[in-house]
Amino acid sequence: MNWEVAKSWLIALFVILDLVLGWQLYESHEVATGYTESPADLLANTKTLLANHGLSLDTQVPSGQPALPTFEATMATPKFSVLASIAFPNATGKVTTEDDVGVSTNEGSLTVTGVGSWEVTYSIPEKLTAARTPLSYAYHGNDYVLDQATSGDGRLVYYKRADNYPVFDAQIVATAISGQLQAYTETYIDHVVNTSSPKPVISALDALDSLANGVDRTDSSSHNEVVKVDLGYARKVQVTEENNTSPSKNYWFPVWRIVTSQGTYFVNAFTGEVEMATGF
């Protein structure tokens, strides 16, 4: 036997075998890296994760991931006379100004509750109609949109819009009973200026996954359902000191709001950080 020829054939066979194995490895790698779970699979995984942490999903989940900026704004401090003329359009007699706290009229009173926030209480409730809603009696009421998820039982919640997204801490909360406006609170921001270039937000499913991992409700005796998921803004850094009545710049970040049957959560739409907003 010619061992040199045999050795050459063996070397050639090993080279061919290496090429075949290498090609198979390359193809399997391409399949693995190119594989993406279907939206249905991703949703099923999120539902399972929520269930493992005592939560269930009872609403549609938004699919978009728009690019949003951060912005800064000023807490509004309008004149009492302006607020009173809007809140009490039928007031007669003297309007009494109470230092820097608010005003009183024969129709009710307006009290400042914080920088950019005030409360209106009616001694003579205002009649509401299709043309005259609570927004008709609020400062720049046309800037607000009704929030169905948190309204009900005589409580109407409206959020100011910024770039067509709700600002979850610039709101009007009105009390209306039997078609009459009893009272409302309002927080208003103005001088909105973007402070960053738009960046894509995380998906709503990622936000729900963050909620499940960050908030465990398995020890809760009552069922906790996710009833609303939507994108908006919330204030992250408050520059104004607690007792400072002068306006100051504040900063807002995109958030996913997740409303559950037991409370509302904000998830930072860039980082996935979870915060408790309110409890019901």
**Tens-place pLDDT, residues 13-31:** 666 766 666 666 656 655 4
What separation in angstroms does the CA of 25 have from each of 11, 31, 94? 21, 10, 86
> Is pLDDT above 60 for 240?
no
* Domains of the chain and any CATH numbers: 40-70+195-279 (2.40.128), 78-114+117-187 (3.30.310.160)
Q: Looking at 44-53, 148-157, 211-220, 229-238, which range is the least confident one?
A: 211-220
Residue 231 in tokens: 């994108």
pLDDT (tens digit, 9 = 90+) per residue, 136-190? 999 999 999 999 999 998 999 999 999 899 999 999 999 999 999 999 999 999 9
Give the count of alpha carbons within 13 A of 61, CB side only: 21
166 sits in which H/E element? strand 165-177
Structural contact between residues 189 and 76, judged by C-beta atoms closer than 8 angstroms: yes
End-to-end CA distance of the chain: 90
The whole-number pLDDT of residue 223 equals 72
DSSP state of 92: -
Q: Which two tokens stand for residue 186?
A: 């309002």
224-237: pLDDT as tens digits: 899 999 999 999 75
Q: Is the pLDDT of residue 246 over 60?
A: no
Q: What percent of the chain has pLDDT over 90?
A: 60
SS3 6: helix
Residue 264 vs residue 34, higher pLDDT = 264
Reference 135, options 92, 179, 184, 91; nearest CA is: 184
